[in-house]
Amino acid sequence: MRPGKLAERAVIVTGAAQGIGRAIAAACAREGARVALCDLAERALADARAEVEALGGAALGIAADVTRAADVEAMAEAVLAAWGRIDVLVNNAGGGIGPRGLMDTRDQEWDAVVDLNLKGQFLCCRAVAPAMRRQGRGRIVNIASNAGRFRSNTGFGGLAYSAAKGGVLQLTRSVAHELGPDGITVNAIAPGSVLSERGRREFEALPADLRERVLAETPLGRFARAEEIASIAVFLASDDASYVTGATILANGGWCAA
């Protein structure tokens, strides 16, 4: 296996059992990384870990709830115990609740979505920062969303999801400013629609006229593959992006230009 852009680096990917997270974990392994895959879906997590190992990469599978500080701290400690360092964090765990607007979003739905998509990323950033500071370098990649950058995308993740992903963008800028002097870069990726297994289900559940409109508004005329988002994450995690921090890369097929 060739050394790769992430050779021997210790990478944490949350929400790694499927979809974008699984694609990112595999892409990092192909670039020589040691990958800690974190998720609550333990059977799927075991399959994803096996995929990484089949690519020749060292792997850990960690069952962790990113909304719980104790789980997140234990996740970071497990990686440090195994590999002695944390070089990259990819904050991918997230999800929405479908088309819920202001008046039909229940309190517990709001709390659950904001905790998963925003609080979880905050907790993970906080957990890895001490190790990265000791090393004098690190990379944090936060997975945001088109829904948090432009108009509310209530047809997909709902109001709470859009608000939480908007918060991720500000979290990214703020943490980048704070950790930059320590040699740590912090960036975000804001994907549009991605045809992962979950993304396909969400898209197919939309009314036909909305599906047609979304595609019509996307200049490339299609949705992303999870592997296309993963390639951006690898770039941001590598030395190729050593002078990029506080940035959000839009990966939406030109939707923002429509």
Structural domain total, the chain? 1
DSSP-derived letter for residue 210 is H
Query: What domain range includes position 41?
Result: 10-251
Is 5 a member of any domain? Answer: no
Contacts of 191 (CB under 8 A, 6+ apart): 20, 143, 144, 145, 146, 224, 229, 251, 252
The answer for residues whose C-beta is within 8 angstroms of residue 213's C-beta and 6 or more apart is none
* pLDDT value, residue 144: 96
Q: Is 207 exposed, middle or buried (0-12, 13-18, 19+ CB in 10 A)?
A: exposed
* Active-site pick, 161, 203, 223, 255: 161
Check which CATH number belongs to the domain holding 242 and give it: 3.40.50.720
Q: Is 243 a catalytic residue?
A: no
2 found inside a domain = no
| pLDDT confidence of residue 44 | 96
Q: Does 258 fall in a domain?
A: no
With tokens 């045809």, the residue in question is 195
pLDDT in tens, 207-241: 787 778 778 888 888 889 999 999 999 999 999 99
Other beta carbons within 10 angstroms of residue 216's beta carbon come to 10
pLDDT at residue 258, rounded to an integer: 45
| Residue at 256 is within a domain | no
Which residues in the chain show pLDDT less than 70? 1-2, 151-156, 198-206, 257-258
Contact 75, 49 (CB under 8 A): no
In a domain, 182, yes or no: yes
d(CA 27, CA 189): 16
> What pLDDT score was predicted for residue 202?
66
What is the spatial distance between Cα 163 and Cα 190, in angstroms, rounded to a whole number? 13
Return the half-sphere exposure (C-beta side, CA atoms, 13 A cut-off) of residue 188. 28
3-state secondary structure of 187: strand
Considering only CA atoms, which of 46, 10, 54 is closest in space to residue 28?
A: 10
